[in-house]
Amino acid sequence: MRFRVQSIQRWLHLNEYEGLVEGLVDGQLLGAHLMLHGDGAWSSWVPGAEMDVELWLERAGEVQVLPGAKIAAMRRIGETSYEIIGPVRDILDDETLVVGVEVALRVDLDPPVAGGSQLPPIGHGDWIRVSGTLKLASAEDDERQS
């Protein structure tokens, strides 16, 4: 999907390769966790830059099936944390879904810690609620790091 950078904040207090990037996808402002290696990789992440990216939500809590839900929502609850409610559009594998919210979003269902909670049965068309960290990667940066 196409992403237009609005702002970037490197988290140098943590390390040199992680940060927060905010930008527009289909007119919606999103904040996502970005991980890049090397100072040169950061040079293309400037306000106004447009690039093709992959966005996904990495689960941080429980997954709930919501019978009867009808309104999709994506609510920002922290710098890069979101709660989403939406229908399952696709099941990619045992741990990955595509959920229909403002943008079609891949959701990584891996438990946040080893031995984490079991997932409820989830099928196509089920409405779910899940919270987690919105992550972003660009194909250009992946190619540079290979």
Per DSSP, 140 falls in state: H
Range of the domain at 48: 2-53
| Residue 117: per-residue pLDDT | 67
Q: State whether 28 and 100 are in the same domain.
A: no
Domain assignment present for residue 65? The answer is yes
Distance CA 36, CA 19 (A): 8
- For the chain, residues with pLDDT lower than 50 are 142-146
- How far apart are alpha carbons 121 and 65 in whole angstroms? 8
pLDDT of residue 114: 58
Whether residue 68 sits in one domain with residue 48? no
Distance in angstroms (rounded) separating the CA atoms of residues 106 and 100: 9
Tell whether 84 is covered by a domain.
yes
Residues 62 and 129 in one domain: yes
pTM of the predicted protein model: 0.88
Co-location of 70 and 113 in the same domain: yes
84 and 111 within one domain: yes
Return the CATH number at 31.
2.40.50
Question: What pLDDT, in 10s, does the model give residues 27-42?
Answer: 899 999 999 877 678 8
Instruction: Pull the structure tokens for residue 101.
Output: 């919210």
- C-alpha closest to that of 40 among 131, 140, 109, 134: 140
| Residue tagged 């790091």 (tokens) | 145
Q: What pLDDT is attached to residue 40?
A: 75
Q: Number of folded domains in the chain? A: 2
In angstroms and rounded to an integer, the radius of gyration of the C-alpha atoms of the chain is 16
Q: Looking at the structure, tell me whether residues 62 and 48 fall in a common domain.
A: no
